[in-house]
Amino acid sequence: MLQWTPGASPILDVLAVILVMLAAVMSLAAAVGLLRFPDTLQRLHAGAKPQVLGVIVICVAIVLRSPSWPVVALTSLVVVFQMLTQPIAAHMAGRAAYRTDGLHGELIILDEMADDVSAADGPGPAGSAR
């Protein structure tokens, strides 16, 4: 059985502080990207990637600072749910931005969704209500 004592090692405390600072830098990078990039898709990328990595780094820092099995279990759940929900949320927001023209078309190099969106927006089969 794992027996950790919180705050027993000053080295782990310093490492936890370094990880929190790293997460703060990732949050700052995400904020700069959100302000600087020109369209929604690039802003989503700039905000989603550092956010997930920042949550992971913060969870590791929490485990280092307060090591116990319940804390490990809780932070693991937080990381798993962040890794499952953030890409889906960014994907849905990106699709909504694409369909509502919330992006710069000249910045898209390869548009693989154009045919699918035009087919979905076209007239349905005869007699169907859309």
Stretch 70-80: mean pLDDT, rounded? 96
DSSP H helix total and E strand total for the chain: 4, 0
Q: Please report, for the chain, the start and end positions of each structural domain, with discontinuous segments joined by +.
A: 10-103
Q: Which two tokens stand for residue 110?
A: 């390869």
Q: What is the mean pLDDT of the chain?
A: 83
Model confidence pLDDT, tens digit, residues 2-39: 555 555 688 888 999 999 999 999 999 999 988 998 88
**Low-confidence winner among 42-46, 86-90, 98-102 (lowest mean pLDDT):** 98-102
